Amino acid sequence: MRTLYYILQKEFTQIFRNKSMLPVIFVMPLVQMLILVFAATNELRQVDLAIVDFDNSASSRKLTSEITGNPFFIVRQNLASTQDAEDLLMRNKIDLALVIPQNFDKDLTLSKKADVQILVDAINGMAAQLSLGYLSNVIGNYSQKILIKTGKPEPGLMKSIGIKSTYWFNPQLNFKYYMAPGILVVLITVIGMLLGGMNLVREKELGTIEQINVTPIQKWQFIAGKLLPFLAIGLFDLAFGLMIARLAFNIPIRGSMPLLFGMASIYLMLVLSLGLFISTISDTVQQATFVTFFMLIVFILMSGLFTPVESMPDWAQKLDYANPLYYFVKIMRSIILKGSNFTDIFNEFAALSVFAVSMFGMAIFRYRKTS
């Protein structure tokens, strides 16, 4: 243990002497939490809309008034032709257009039925579905008002089931609550994989690792000495990020903090071991950085951080069983937002533990110590 103590002392001294390391440790959590939590959102707050009214009747103006009165829609222009609306869609000036045909009022009066056309920019499929759904709801509510006013609803149309929704864990549907735990996962993953791995491979480039290799230090002591300082730094950044999330976004932390930091320690051991393993098979910082960023991008995009894993193809969902971020994102959101206990996250804990022990063993095995 005394040997390990001296290795740790040497590593901490080396870390704090590196002036480029300190901004990464202290500034990165602040920047990621204050910028990415706002930027990484799927919320749709406002939609640019154009209206083409060929009827110009009392009914069409009333429908237009219903839409303009909704703060979700910003009516950019009232156009004279469908072609003008299509041109605006092509030039990305609007997100959707509503076309009210001639005889709209007449059809409502005589047959109680009229058609309208909605043109939607569907480059962003999710935004297109949401904006179309909101506009369809406004038009549907307007239709219900007409039926109630006339007193002659179609058979069965006015019958409905009342729904009372209760949103658990995030009653305000605040997307920041959902994203902040995931951004924290990305933060400590970068700290672990990138900084931990670069530390070892940099010693290869500088040649200082040869001085260590001729000492009687055992391989597990060397790997543990490289791992533990960044484990402490990762936990510090996690605590710093949680404080920012609490103060800046008022995110409720409902779960046990000891459980959260215990899970984070296992996860950090895994990603640090993975970073060290990459370093053992790399000869230069550039090579290690390329491999690390490639793996990080794949892990992050498939983790369920931005898109639900359930919406991915079956083969991608099966691949996620080997993705450590997938498990830890679930753990973070469950503990912070749901207040889950150890029993609730046992499967994720078991998977991370197996991966961590296996990857730590692989890093020790792959490290070649020569005398």
Q: Where are the beta strands (DSSP E) in the chain?
A: 47-53, 73-79, 96-100, 117-120
Question: CB of 300 within 8 A of CB of 325?
Answer: yes
Q: How do beta strands 117-120 and 96-100 pair?
A: antiparallel
Statement: the pTM of the whole predicted model exceeds 0.75: yes
CATH C-level class of 47-150: alpha beta
pLDDT (tens digit per residue) in 226-283: 888 888 888 998 999 999 989 888 888 899 999 999 999 999 999 999 988 888 888 8
Write the CB contacts of 195 (distance below 8 Å, at least 6 apart in sequence): 21, 24, 230, 233, 275
Q: How many angstroms separate the Cα of 237 from the Cα of each of 40, 121, 294, 314, 334?
A: 20, 41, 23, 35, 20
Task: State the greatest distance between any 2 C-alpha atoms of the chain, in Å, as a whole number.
Answer: 96
Rounded Cα gap, residues 207 and 284, in angstroms: 11
For residue 209, give the nearest of 123, 137, 261, 282 by alpha carbon: 282
Q: How many angstroms separate the Cα of 82 from the Cα of each of 134, 163, 346?
A: 21, 38, 57
For residue 362, give the nearest of 279, 297, 289, 287 by alpha carbon: 279
Structure tokens at 51: 């209206």
pLDDT (tens digit per residue) in 306-360: 888 888 889 989 999 999 999 999 999 999 999 999 999 999 999 999 999 999 8
Quote the percentage of the chain above a pLDDT of 90: 24
Q: How do beta strands 73-79 and 96-100 pair?
A: unpaired
What is the b/e burial string over 22-52, where b = at least 16 CB atoms within 10 angstroms of the residue's CB? eebbeebbeebbeebbeebeeebeebbbbbb
Domain ranges of the chain: 2-41+171-366, 47-150
Write the CB contacts of 213 (distance below 8 Å, at least 6 apart in sequence): 369, 370, 371
- What 8-state DSSP symbol labels residue 338? I
Cα three-residue angle 305-306-311, rounded to 5 degrees: 100
Q: Which residue has the tokens 């070649």?
A: 368
pLDDT (tens digit per residue) in 61-112: 998 998 988 888 888 878 888 999 899 888 888 889 999 999 888 888 777 6
pLDDT (tens digit per residue) in 122-135: 887 778 888 888 88
The residue type found at 1 is M
Q: What 3-state DSSP class applies to 218?
A: coil
Rounded Cα gap, residues 23 and 186, in angstroms: 17
